[in-house]
Amino acid sequence: MPLSAEQRQKMALYVRSYILRSAENFGHHHADSRASARWTHTLNVVKNADLIMNGEVVGDDLRTAVEVAALFHDIDHYTVQLMYHAARGAETARHWLNKEGYDPDFVKRVEVMIRNHHTDLDDDIPVEEQIAEIVSTLNYETRVLMDADTLDKIGVNNILQSVMTMTQNGQRLADIAQELASGWPLQRASLWRQLLTTKTGQALGEERYQFYEAFLQQISTEIAFVDPYPSLTMTQEFAQVAQSIPKKA
């Protein structure tokens, strides 16, 4: 059954408030901006999930369950270490949904999706084997959520988040541009693209990867990484000023 506007609003307000409070309570630097970025990511995942499901044949029950799981999937991003946030988030979602009177079977579906949406890859096992295991062990709706989450790491939002983070860390424009164009961001995006397992998710991932690749390449074309006119040292500045002062006759 689709969610009502009132249900969506209540759920969204709870998740957004929880993310902000936890970022503040756990002492994260720039808590407000971090929480805002995490909420934007959450909304992007909801949107990505909708795009995926629009491209595939899904029923209303699955669509609703994925939407709710997408809203809650990162609710505990700031309360525990990253490797545990999916398990903690599943517990938080289950508790809130049960308290609100949602059907137990529906709550269980959402809980399972959230618990399994985050997977750490093993560097010692070929990526192809790990992806095959994901496809064989996780249900379709969980893979929709995973793809929706992964898609947000390939493209515009990832670039904006990277720039914002590096700016907060005091990096200069040229340094940010050079880091983005260094090659590793594109390698990371290529790996994320491989992790997509739904047909529509893969198509969207390829489209975003092409944009990502073109944008990062354009950085090298347009941005001057090196200043050919290095700043003077303080001693050199003093010497230059001294030389400019007219000598007495």
Q: DSSP label at 123?
A: T
Please state, in angstroms and rounded to a whole number, the distance separating the CA atoms of residues 142 and 25. 30
Q: Please, which residues have CB within 8 angstroms of residue 70's CB and are 6 or more apart in sequence?
A: 42, 45, 46, 49, 145, 148, 149
Instruction: pLDDT band for 124, please (50, 70, 90 cuts).
Output: confident
Report the distance separating Cα 40 and Cα 29, nearest Å. 18
Contact 51, 67 (CB under 8 A): no
Averaged over 232-236, what is the pLDDT? 73
Which amino acid is present at 226?
V
pLDDT in tens, 201-220: 999 999 999 999 999 999 99
| pLDDT value at 66 more than 60 | yes
Maximum pairwise Cα distance, the chain = 97
**Both structure tokens of 219:** 């950085």
Share of the chain above pLDDT 90, in %: 76
* 144 burial type by CB count under 10 A (0-12 exposed, 13-18 middle, 19+ buried): buried
Alpha-carbon span 190 to 170, nearest angstrom? 28
Q: Please tell me the pTM assigned to this model.
A: 0.89
For the stretch 177-202, pLDDT in tens is 999 999 899 999 999 999 999 999 99
Q: What is the mean pLDDT of residues 150-171?
A: 91
Element (H, E) at 217: helix 199-222
For the chain, domain boundaries:
1-120
